[in-house]
Structure formats: structure tokens, C-alpha cells
Structure 1
């Protein structure tokens, strides 16, 4: 009986001293806005840094944020760049003492060819919430999707239109002369036939925002692979997608 009483007292003491602690986590695209619901959000995993135990996990959701506040206004110390609608994941963990945690973000979670992992570590302290902007992890890159030719398409020798959709990691629009200026982003198609590189094709935005295009000479039969990359020398943002197809005589 005494043993049971001791165990009960110990468990009660553990629960009694555990305190719920809130941690806000956000993912922000490099040189752009927050990653939110419109692009599918981001996966967040919070682990004990020593044991690997998962303390909380979930998906970042909400808006990409206020463009003027994030991209145009000067950033001042202690001034938030997130508002009430800005995408976030709000974790609540029960801890009895300070714990060093690893915060890992996979973003954008629904774009496997562009998804990257960003992480950081910090101490969380019982009852000491981290709110406001919270922990903001920067997500570098571009989302690149090859639109045409299609995967494993069979094509007669001809000139076809090479197309790729390119957006910021938050889904923000890239257009000629826009806030994210297509004319200042290098987008190229590296064309390989039967495993050998045969040409490099520059792509540009013409009629439709985010859509980079170029004519592609496919006069020679073979098995083709096209690697389309986007690169911004000002920020270091990069992105890649690939497509394979066949040109038959």
C-alpha cells in the first residue's frame, strides 16, 4: 500500500509541476513572404534535442502576411512583421523544467521537388511563452514545375514550347517588372539527349505571370531530359525541376 501511495504521489507531483508552454513557429520564404495555407503550408516537428522525443508537431497555416509590412517598410528592432492572420503553428508543450528543443520545418510541404528542411535549436522554459513573430525559420529557393513537355511524352521531331511555372517559396507571383521581377531572375533549360548535354535554352515570361517559356528544337530523335533551373544572383535563391520524354522519328 505504501508503495502505491509513493508512486501516486510521485506521478501527482510530476503533473502538478508541468506547465503548458506555448511556442509559435513560422516559415518565411527568403526574399519573400510567409509560407501559408495557399501553398499547402509547412510541416513543423518539435523534438527534445537530447532524446529525439517528439513534443509537438503540426502544420503551419494562415495567410502569407502583409506585403507592405514585410517587403516595403523598414524593419525595426522589436517590431513585428507578422499580423493576426499571418501563417503560424502554435505548439503547446507541457514541461517540468527547461528543455533544449530542435524545431524542424519542412516547407513547402506539398511541393516535394522544392521542399527543404530548416531547423534551429533553443531552450524552452516552463510557462515562458514565445509568441509574437515567434521562431521564424527562413526557407530559401524557388518552386519550379515543368509544365511542358510532359513526363514520358512521345513527341515527333519538331520545335515545341518549353514551359515552366516558377514562384517564390511562399507562392508569391513572379512577373516582368513586378515586386518579384522575372526579368532579373535567370531561368534556363539544360537539354540532354541520350545522356549528353546538347543545348541550353533561356526561358522568359511572356503573357502569363510565373510562366517561363522558350522554343525547344527537338529535331533529333532520342531520349531527352530537360533540367530547368531558376537562379537569382542577388539573393542566392535557386530552384530546379526535371522532365524526361522521348522524341520518335
Structure 2
């Protein structure tokens, strides 16, 4: 096609497009004509609190608390609990998706939804805290956004990511006394904040998470422990030598650290235990 013919075709194509879609049809700056002035309009807001790199915080972990605050006045506009399911693991973790394509709302998943009645654009701070069933692992995140009267924030909604893991010492059990000069097993559960287990070759691959234990007496680390996957989902184990009551008069603290350096998820679990002399071993019944 020569240059002259090309420009003729381009001209007629542009003219047809202009006739079908006049310039004003492309304008996004036209104000709404059906919106009453100075009248409060219902504005639906959905918030989803998710574990970073994981699923939604649902009922399995107690959900999360969400608070929406007007930044200009400090007034709390809404507050409540996120409840529901953790979401479709296959959709969230395995299915490719475009940037603006729904991710958490393609199937039922936990969320907090409210309706605000706004008379003017309002800048708010949305704060989330959870998981509520595991206070020791609880994290907090916030996000500042504008809400416009009548413009609903639904679908996935406003998503807040919480970083960390739920790290729990399973053995020894809380309240147990440790017997001096014994090799004591240490078993630990490591899960995402959504409650899903960390394990080798899983969606939350333990091979990428550095998990280790520490024995702390006073404010000193006396031993660092390499943790091994036990074969049960989310459980890791090791053992340590229990010092004497003379060396640990106030007992000892077991600390377990989980670190995923590339995605930023990090957490610590701790528990304190008294130490008894081997001569004071509790009698078995």
C-alpha cells in the first residue's frame, strides 16, 4: 500500500470512529448528573485481610478485626470482624491472573463489608489486626485510601496483607517442668497466618523458610537448635540438653524463629519453663 492510499484509509477510519463515538464519549471528566448535591450516599466497602503470600484470614484462625477511621476527624466510621472461609487455595496460589483480575472474591472467602453514608470524598485509614485466635502471632497493618460517595469498593475490595507465621511450641507442653540433665524433645508447629501448614514441597515450602530454636537462660542464648521436618504437616522437631537448676535458677525460655527472607514473612514463638532437679522428677501415676 502506497503512502497516499494509507492516509486515505486512515482518514476515513478516523472519521467513522468519530461519528460513532463523538469526542465527549471518551471523556472521563464529566461529573455524575444523577447525584444529589450535599446528600449522603450509600457507599459499600469490602475489606479483605490476607496472610502475605497466603490465603485469607478466616474462621479457622479467628479472622481479623477491621476498623475504618475518618482521617480528618479521627472518628471511627465502622468496625467489625472479618469472617468466612480462607478462600480457594488453587485459585489464589496456582491460577495465573491479570493485575486487576479478581483473586480472593472468585469463590467465597472471608471479608468485612460495611455501608457508609458519605456526603463528600473522605480520606480514611483502614486498619486490620489478626489472627484473633492466636494473640501471640497477631499482626497489624493499615492503609490510607479515599472513599467517594456512591462509588462502591467491592469484589476483592481493599486488601491488607499481614506478614508473619503462627509459631507454636507443641512439646514440651505449656506448664510442664523440665528435668535437669535430660535430652528434651522440642516440637514446633509453623503455619501461615491463614492457618495453612508450612512443609517441604508444599505451597508454603519449608525449604525456603529458615526455622531454628534457641535455649535462653536469663538474657543469654545458651544453645541454638536446628529444626527438622517431622513428617507431619507443619511440625518440626529437635532436642536440647536441660541445664541444672543452679545454672537456670529462674527456668529457661524456648524461642523458635521462622524466617522467609525473600518474601518478608518472619515470626517468633516463645514459652518459658521451670527446671527441676533430676531428684525431683514428678511421680508417674
Normalised by the size of structure 2, how large is the TM-score?
0.78
> How many pairs align?
236
Quick check: 1:189–1:203 contact (8 Å CA) kept in 2? Answer: yes
The match for 1:229 is 257
Structure 1 Cα separation of the partners of residues 177 and 235 of structure 2: 23
Is residue 140 of structure 2 the alignment partner of residue 108 of structure 1? no
Structure 2 Cα separation of the partners of residues 23 and 107 of structure 1: 19
Quick check: 1:150–1:243 contact (8 Å CA) kept in 2? Answer: no
Runs of 5+ unmatched residues, structure 2: 1-37, 278-285
1:54 to 73, 76, 79: 76
| SS across alignment from 1:68 | helix
The match for 2:224 is 200
The match for 1:240 is 268
Aligned-residue Cα RMSD (Å) equals 1.9
Quick check: 1:44–1:106 contact (8 Å CA) kept in 2? Answer: yes
Range with greater deviation from structure 2 (145-154 or 93-102): 145-154
Q: Which has the higher contact order (CA 8 A, sep 6+)?
A: 1
Cα shift readout 1:19-63 (whole Å, capped 9, x = no counterpart): 111000001211111111121101000010111111111111121
Quick check: 2:129–2:139 contact (8 Å CA) kept in 1? Answer: yes
2:67 to 36, 39, 45: 45
Structure 2 Cα separation of the partners of residues 136 and 195 of structure 1: 39
The match for 1:142 is 165
Range with greater deviation from structure 2 (116-125 or 212-221): 212-221
| SS across alignment from 2:159 | strand
> Which has more radius of gyration?
2
After superposition, residues 83-94 of structure 1 pair within 5 angstroms as: 83-94=106-117
After superposition, residues 173-192 of structure 1 pair within 5 angstroms as: 173-192=197-216
Shift of 1:240: 0.7
The match for 2:18 is none
Between structures 1 and 2, the one with greater strand share: 1
Shift of 1:176: 2.4
The match for 1:167 is 191
Quick check: 2:88–2:107 contact (8 Å CA) kept in 1? Answer: no
Normalised by the size of structure 1, how large is the TM-score?
0.89
Runs of 5+ unmatched residues, structure 1: 1-15
| SS across alignment from 2:274 | strand
After superposition, residues 23-42 of structure 1 pair within 5 angstroms as: 23-42=45-64
Structure 2 Cα separation of the partners of residues 190 and 18 of structure 1: 57
